[in-house]
Amino acid sequence: MKSNIPQHIAIIMDGNGRWAKQRGMQRSEGHRAGGESVKRAVECCIKAGVKYLTLFSFSSENWKRDKVEISTLMEFFQKALDSELENLIKNGIRLEAIGDLEKLPIPVRMGLQKNISATAGNDKLVVTLAVSYGSRGEIVVAAKKLAEQVAAKKLSVDKIDEALFSKMLWTANTPDPDLLIRTSGEMRVSNFLLWQIAYSEIIVCQEYWPDFDENIFNRCIDEYARRDRRFGAVHG
């Protein structure tokens, strides 16, 4: 893999609803179109040699949305899991999921587990879906795990460091993102991977997620390649 290609890309897929509204469509059509953009993003990552792709699919805050929209999203999600399994296997893609998955409808949870198990041996690209995910909640869960170990005298407080804390997170088996992309022009990270993006390069695209394509992907990769990643140090 080329050195100027990020190993791990995380994407906040934003703007489905506004994309649909601009076209006089129902929000559900925006989500449907956004599903096609997910396929394009995966194809772009495979073509470029990216090894990890994390997609902010449904946030913990999204449960506050209209029940009809949530039901539609879950239905889309379940259908995608059913229809894409063969493609995941054929293309060597391993599926993972992070988030408070117990809140998901049982059929969606079962579909996720089926696809995760069926693709466990694949290693061309790891696609992680952040579903019912909130980074603050993830960090609280990690803190509780450590607190329980300390209380049970299985862990000494002075042994807790950044490396150990990272192992308690849902992303323990995934390297931190090199590049965070957000679509729709919004300048915030929306409670997504707060710990993990400490030194990620951030690129905000003005286009809505349903318009995401190879040209936009390549533009982001080119911008990333121009960045000087110093991680707090001074080069030269």
Residue 158 in any domain: the answer is no
Cα 183-208-63 angle, rounded to 5 deg: 75
Stated pTM of the model? 0.95
Q: State the catalytic residue, choosing from 14, 16, 115, 178.
A: 14
3-state SS class at 14: coil
Residue 163 in any domain: the answer is no
- Show the tokens assigned to 196: 């993990």
How would residue 86 be classed by pLDDT, with cut points 50, 70 and 90? very high
Side-chain half-sphere CA neighbours of 49 within 13 A: 7
Cα 75-77-81 angle, rounded to 5 deg: 120
Res. 9: pLDDT tops 90:
yes
191 is catalytic: no
222 is catalytic: no
Residue 130 in any domain: the answer is yes
Mean pLDDT along residues 16-41: 96
Residue 232 in any domain: the answer is no
pLDDT digits (tens, 9 = 90+) for 88-116: 999 999 999 999 999 999 999 999 999 99
How would residue 235 be classed by pLDDT, with cut points 50, 70 and 90? low
Res. 236: pLDDT tops 60:
no
> Distance between CA 65 and CA 180 in Å, rounded?
25
Residue range(s) defining the domain that contains residue 198: 8-134+176-225
Which residue(s) pair with 15 in the sheet?
none
Residue 199 in any domain: the answer is yes
Mean pLDDT along residues 25-44: 96
Residue 48 in any domain: the answer is yes
Residue 168 in any domain: the answer is no
> Distance between CA 27 and CA 57 in Å, rounded?
15
CATH number for the domain spanning 193: value is 3.40.1180.10
Domain count, the chain: 1
DSSP annotation of 60: G
Residue 51 in any domain: the answer is yes
Mean pLDDT along residues 142-150: 98
pLDDT for 97: 98
pLDDT for 229: 79
HEC readout, 176-211? CCCEEEECCCCCCCCCCCCCCCCCCEEEECCCCHHH
Q: State the catalytic residue, choosing from 4, 62, 87, 178.
A: 62
pLDDT digits (tens, 9 = 90+) for 164-208: 999 999 999 999 999 999 999 999 999 999 999 999 999 999 999
How would residue 1 be classed by pLDDT, with cut points 50, 70 and 90? very low
How would residue 232 be classed by pLDDT, with cut points 50, 70 and 90? confident
- Phi then psi for residue 4, to 5 deg, are -90, 10
- Show the tokens assigned to 129: 């879906």
